[in-house]
Structure 1
Amino acid sequence: MESDITELRKNYKKDWRFRLALIGTGLALTVVVLGAFTRLSHAGLGCPDWPGCYGHLLWPNEGHEIAIANQAFPHAPVETDKTWPEMVHRYFAGSLLLLVVSLTFMFWRRRGHRGFYQSHFLLGLIILQAAFGMWTVTLKLWPQVVTAHLLGGMATLSVLWMLAERLRYRRRLIPPHEFTALQNLRPLAIVAVVVVSLQIALGGWTSSNYAALACPDFPTCHNQWWPAADFSEGFNIAQQIGPNYLGGAMESDARTAIHLTHRIGALIVALLVLAVAFRAWKAGSPRWAQGLIVVLCLQIALGIANVVLSLPLPIAVAHNAGAALLLLSLLTFCYRINTVQPEIRKT
């Protein structure tokens, strides 16, 4: 009887770790989307100080509060349509930090659990993310920091999701021929994850340098297949710290180079993901193949719509969410490949 109660308690605790990881994944995705909304609505410097906003826990919204704030920050007058997105993003990020601290504490109480080191890595990652959030403001949207902040958000989301997968998913037995086909597919799937991650970084660099509309037409750019582009300036990561980078500081040809590279990267991603989907279908995983193709097509459509429709805010934000979804789909597929085992048939 006591052993049964002990087992129930163990399952309950494990279940709560999984639930917390799953809630954290949803919260992390919300933070990523809110970060994209803040960046794309040009509200990254909506609050010139950190962690408050013009010295407020929320943001100044009364007439006298705005007047005092304008006196305290004459170089950055209050714009109410930009203060609230920044602070809402910060509060959601702070909530995620508290959740990860709680999750780490739950794992710390059982140091032998397989998610122990992963949860502590996650805690370190999200603390680093908080620092990047501060530097985004104090360094006035320095593109290197903004891009690193985006990548940190994607990494936090990915680690939380993979932790939830690890807590939920168990090894599955499949026929030997399917097992062999999936193991042969694993290197290509890993390459796809790496390339998608690089494409996300490139997307962050495109956004942080305001190059999303550097090519206003599609599929050509300035009605040319290969327009004038300054790649050395576009990918100069030694930009000076100090200027206000709101709106970007690069010349047109440099932004064109960034945008063109992002388009080329999208083509490479599409070919790789399609190759993974085709081989997954042949390996006996048609649902995974269909899912990857649907997510890929949605992401491509959103990217094209951003150019054709001149970067409407809802579509631009959805494009960021689509990148996260594509990355999580590939990571989950790689994890499932890694956990399957061949059936041993008795003769």
Structure 2
Amino acid sequence: MKKRLIIAAVLSSMMVLTACSGKSDDGTITITNVSYDPTREFYEKYNKIFESYYEEKYGTKVDVIQSHGGSGSQARSVVEGCNADVVTLALEHDVDLIQRTGLIDEGWIDEFQKDSSPYTSTIVFLVRKGNPKDINDWDDLIKDGVDVITPDPKSSGGACWNFLAALSYAKENYDDEKSQKSFMKKLYENVSVMDSGARGSTTTFVENGQGDVLIAWENEALATLDSYPGKYEVIDPSVSILAQPSVAIVDDNAKSNKTEEVSKEYLDHLYSDDAQRLIGESGYRPANETVLNEFSDKFDLNIRLWSINDYGGWDEAYKTYFDDGAMFDEIYSN
């Protein structure tokens, strides 16, 4: 199964790299959305809604091509030539990476509502039914004999959120940096498999049966409950982080492809009520608070959520925790 998924991912990436965005001879407009791992099912549904909406409003057919992988890897693929019209990535820093090359205009974060974040999520635990290792909070993940599954922060934006969610707990419970580092080191010493992306980690835990606990996007954990009824449980930790995926038009590509208008419409429509409800149904937290409250029975809105601003923003967070030689390398290599 894992081998088939890897082959499918490679073929998908090759398809996107060679895909031709723009208008075809029959008038159909094709755009490419380069996204991150756990959004694939949501965008499969959203693309159909958007294509119907756009044709009804403008009388023009749209075909949306989508690509998924670790968010950091996806951002680098756009920098290296993937012909994305829009990106819908796991974190602001990955969009900024593309912006610094000139492919995305400065000020992209203000182009759409809520800092160009039409949905949010948080980080939770997925355990097997009955919770055999009695995992209830982050401190249970550092116990002897607990095998943790989480992806690699070097390639996965979701993994960066996982790391910061755990660190937020450590900062609340340990006063000094040495103790916080010790906690994080113990946690990552218990990581038995570190995949390149969040979906790969879910496959490792669910389909390959490895590990005692998966540190996961909330939406990914909820989707697993739906797909495997009676086999897993979601554990909400006491402390987590407000994960804010970001969306942006890849302005340089969209101009070349003559898809600027449809690309903007594609991202704008994510804030419509219909799309916001689909977001909630897909396990993400809608940006629209009225719609979010419609799903109050689905999400634990009482988890103490830190934000990336508590870490000085993504540039500072990368410098301190994820760049070569920063804290993650320090605790994971020693």
TM-score bin (small chain): under 0.3
The answer to which structure has the higher helix fraction is 1
The answer to which structure has the higher strand fraction is 2
TM-score (normalised: structure 1): 0.24
